[in-house]
């Protein structure tokens, strides 16, 4: 009901404007603007010309047949040439008119997108109807875009509030857990409880931070600043964040990256993605195993490999491990929530790259991170 009413109202407005508003004119001549989609006169003119020639030929032949002399040979030749000329002229005219109509449609779309004045006014023509529909579509698209931006702003405010409101109590829990662990003459069982409080509070803090990052990435609220810069600082920064945990498990980390290798990336967020890969490699590798990081420059992408000697991943799970909250069966005994690899993939994809894995059960895994070269 609402759509029909709006359509009828628009037609009424168009009729009113057609009666009371003068048609748009060409700027210099002042002549009314012609409808760029009108083909009727072309069909009428060429149809009449074709009929005239078709009927004229037998009439001319009949007239000459009644005479004593034979009609000259040039009569059918001229007739055939005239028909060919008419056909060619008709095809050329249709092509020119079609090109004009397409150009008019392009101008209508460009004008509607730019928000400029209507080209056809409110004429009762097909071109004006097309312009009206394009304008309506552009207005609806802009209204939807504004609505999405408003929702995005509301979501960003909500996420900021959640992050801010949870940080204070979590910091308090972690502080009191540390103070409780330092109390003299505290029983061993109570000291273990205090240690668990600190560990779980730290885990909750990490989880909330990861969820906030994930939500911001999915909502497009994080603007990555990609520049062409060397990769070695990004790699070493990520390694420094897992070095202590790797050292506790006796896992040496080797890096093979030429200092001149550069890629277009955001150092901060690319380091975050690498950290997630390295953290998983340390977490799921046995004590005393090794980890190797290498970088190779290609023509279109720069490849960073993170190889470990951990438990490995079954081939049927290679795609699933990058899903949100997915946990492999082999990793069920380890702590985790299944966000790290998903975040890493989203960060790299937002920079025009991609992430893949190659692994065998019991032999380790190689996570390959591809970043644009330029």
Q: Which domains does the chain have, with CATH numbers?
A: 227-372 (3.30.565.10)
Of 136-150, 305-319, 326-340, the one with minimum mean pLDDT is 326-340
Asked if 272 and 347 count as a contact pair (C-beta separation under 8 A), the reply is yes
Contacts of 334 (CB under 8 A, 6+ apart): 283, 284
> Which residue's structure tokens are 């050329």?
92
Please give the average per-residue pLDDT across 108-121, as a whole number. 81
How high is the pLDDT of residue 357? 92
At residue 360, φ and ψ (nearest 5 deg) are: -135, 140
Of 325, 298, 319, 294, the residue nearest 308 (C-alpha): 294
User: Which tokens sit at 111?
Assistant: 């004008």
> Is residue 256's pLDDT more than 80?
yes
> Is residue 39's pLDDT more than 50?
yes
Asked if 277 and 294 count as a contact pair (C-beta separation under 8 A), the reply is no
| CA dist., res. 2 & res. 13, Å (int) | 16
> Is residue 58's pLDDT more than 70?
no
CA distances from 52 to 43, 58, 138, 277 (A): 14, 11, 48, 82
Beta-bridge partner residues of 230: 262
Per-residue pLDDT of 206-230, as tens digits, reads 777 777 777 777 666 677 888 999 9
| CA dist., res. 330 & res. 313, Å (int) | 8
Q: Is 346 helix (H, G, I), strand (E, B) or coil?
A: helix
How high is the pLDDT of residue 73? 65
Please give the average per-residue pLDDT across 355-361, as a whole number. 90
> Which residue's structure tokens are 């046995």?
286
| pLDDT band with cut points at 50, 70 and 90 for residue 164 | confident
> Is residue 144's pLDDT more than 80?
yes
């Amino acid at each position: 009901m609402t759509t029909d009413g709006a359509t009828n109202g628009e037609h009424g407005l168009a009729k009113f404007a057609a009666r009371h508003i003068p048609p748009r004119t060409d700027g210099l001549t002042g002549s009314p603007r012609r409808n760029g989609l009108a083909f009727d006169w072309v069909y009428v003119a060429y149809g009449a010309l074709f009929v005239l020639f078709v009927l004229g030929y037998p009439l001319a032949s009949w007239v000459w047949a009644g005479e004593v002399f034979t009609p000259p040979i040039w009569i059918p030749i001229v007739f055939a040439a005239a028909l060919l000329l008419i056909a060619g002229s008709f095809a050329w005219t249709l092509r020119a008119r079609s090109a004009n109509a397409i150009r008019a449609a392009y101008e209508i779309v460009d004008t509607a997108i730019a928000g400029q004045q209507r080209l056809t006014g409110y004429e009762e023509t097909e071109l004006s109807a097309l312009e009206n529909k394009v304008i309506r579509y552009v207005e609806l698209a802009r209204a939807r875009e504004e609505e999405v931006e408003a929702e995005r702003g509301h979501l960003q405010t909500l996420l900021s509030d959640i992050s801010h409101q949870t940080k204070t109590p979590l910091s308090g829990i972690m502080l009191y857990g540390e103070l409780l662990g330092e109390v003299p003459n505290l029983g061993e069982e109570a000291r273990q409880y205090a240690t668990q409080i600190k560990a779980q509070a730290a885990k909750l803090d990490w989880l909330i931070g990861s969820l906030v990052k994930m939500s911001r990435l999915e909502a497009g609220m994080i603007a990555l600043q990609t520049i062409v810069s060397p990769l070695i600082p990004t790699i070493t920064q990520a390694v420094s964040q897992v070095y202590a945990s790797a050292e506790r498990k006796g896992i040496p980390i080797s890096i093979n990256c030429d200092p001149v290798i550069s890629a277009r990336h955001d150092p901060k967020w690319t380091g975050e993605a690498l950290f997630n890969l390295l953290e998983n490699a340390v977490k799921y590798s046995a004590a005393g195993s090794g980890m190797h990081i290498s970088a190779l420059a290609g023509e279109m992408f720069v490849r960073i490999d993170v190889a470990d000697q951990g438990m490995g991943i079954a081939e049927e799970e290679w795609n699933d491990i990058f899903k949100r909250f997915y946990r492999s069966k082999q990793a069920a005994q380890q702590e985790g929530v299944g966000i790290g690899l998903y975040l890493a993939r989203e960060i790299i994809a937002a920079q025009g790259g991609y992430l893949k894995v190659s692994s065998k059960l019991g032999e380790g895994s190689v996570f390959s991170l591809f970043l644009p070269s330029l």
